[in-house]
Amino acid sequence: MAISYRDAGVDIDAGDELVERIKPLAKRTRIPGVLADVGGFAGLFAVPSDVEEPVLVSGTDGVGTKLKLAFATGRHDGIGADLVGMCVNDVVTCGARPLFFLDYFGTGKLELSVAEAVIGSIARACEASGCALLGGETAELPGMYADGEYDLAGFALGVVARKRIVDGKRVAVGDTVIAVASSGLHSNGYSLARRVLLGEGGIGLDATPPELNGKTVADALLEPTKLYAKLAQAIVAATDVRAMSHITGGGLPGNLPRVLPDGFGARLAPEWSRPAIFELIARLGPVDHAEMLRTFNMGIGFIAIVSPEEADKAIAAAESVGERAWVAGNLEAVSVDMPFEERVRFAEA
């Protein structure tokens, strides 16, 4: 008997069916500039004509080991926000408007319901971020992944006028650091979080420790990444913002200095309100506070740096799109040869 591609583990019909299911999801994300529908060989997007000297801004990322929790719980409907957020939140730090997003979904055996849930969540996150889901790739790769598992990667592209690029070059000593709340771990530090909570801590995904106020560990760990595209655009429109930073892996010490010129650092308040999952991880590890700061966002997902005179405007802009923001500190002069991660210091240090 002849052997088919399906016999080898690849179901072309299932792949075609997934494309048909994705088309209406992607259609809802269409914005001006989209020139083609999902299903062709390439996505087409016209460079916006309303942007003076347009500069294209790109970003790519994945979700990391947070996916392990989606596999363990069967909950896939928030993973799209993680993938889109990790890419788009980077792109908007330059002042860019996100235009489109591409996704890659790889799995050993295509399960239509799971793939549709994942890509549906990607589409919803694109819609919330104001960008189009322009296309992507679904790969069925027998033998590459454990049963029931998949991997994700994303690519985002945005645009900004050359003279409106936010690059940190105009920051000054005394500028105000505006912090914007995260929803939790977002998509970083999960290898440590899983080891502490599900390994040494041994409390399990269904546990409801007192710190979480009735939520399960799974609820807290699977909280989707905040999408900051509308926030960044609101701050850009309301203020002469000088720098913006997405707080991802490496935490505040590893991300805030990336947008500061040599000779600049930040002094921040030592305490702020943060999601309880961080306190649970620190207690059960135990994990030292310094290690927590350099691994997790610790409740601050995004930073905007403005002049002191515009701090209130920045906070009001954040609140206008439903985000919680506050003054977290200010910029200070530091030695140009100060180690990178030491350039973020806290008030008691």
pLDDT exceeds 60 at position 349: no
The answer to whether position 151 is within a domain reads yes
The answer to whether position 169 is within a domain reads no
Q: Looking at the structure, tell me whether residues 331 and 246 fall in a common domain.
A: yes
Q: Looking at the structure, tell me whether residues 97 and 120 fall in a common domain.
A: yes
Q: Looking at the structure, tell me whether residues 134 and 266 fall in a common domain.
A: no
DSSP 70-120: HHHHT--TTHHHHHHHHHHHHHGGGTPEEEEEEEEEEESS--HHHHHHHHH
The CATH code of the domain that includes 27 is 3.30.1330.10
pLDDT exceeds 80 at position 309: yes
Q: Count of alpha carbons within 13 Å of 306, Cβ hemisphere only?
A: 25
Question: pLDDT band at 23, cuts 50/70/90?
Answer: confident
Buried b (16+ CB within 10 A) or exposed e, 99-119: bbbbbbbbbbbbbeebbbbbb
Q: Looking at the structure, tell me whether residues 208 and 159 fall in a common domain.
A: no
For residue 65, what are the domain limits? Answer: 12-38+45-164
Q: How many CB atoms lie within 10 A of CB 221?
A: 24
pLDDT exceeds 80 at position 8: no
323 torsion bin: left (phi>0), alpha (psi -120 to 50), beta (else)? beta
Q: Which of 164, 197, 216 is the last residue of a domain?
A: 164
pTM flag (> 0.85): yes
Q: Looking at the structure, tell me whether residues 148 and 184 fall in a common domain.
A: no
Q: Which of 139, 164, 189 is the last residue of a domain?
A: 164
Q: Looking at the structure, tell me whether residues 51 and 157 fall in a common domain.
A: yes
pLDDT in tens, 85-114: 999 999 999 999 999 999 999 999 999 999
Q: Which of 109, 141, 164 is the last residue of a domain?
A: 164
The SS3 assignment for 206 reads coil
pLDDT in tens, 161-202: 999 999 999 999 999 999 999 999 999 999 999 999 998 878
Q: Looking at the structure, tell me whether residues 51 and 116 fall in a common domain.
A: yes
The answer to whether position 301 is within a domain reads yes
For the chain, how many structural domains are there in total?
2
pLDDT in tens, 66-86: 999 999 999 999 999 999 999
Q: Looking at the structure, tell me whether residues 311 and 191 fall in a common domain.
A: yes
Q: Looking at the structure, tell me whether residues 237 and 123 fall in a common domain.
A: no
Question: pLDDT band at 1, cuts 50/70/90?
Answer: confident
pLDDT on residue 215 = 94
Q: Looking at the structure, tell me whether residues 281 and 224 fall in a common domain.
A: yes
d(CA 333, CA 158): 32
Average pLDDT, the chain: 93
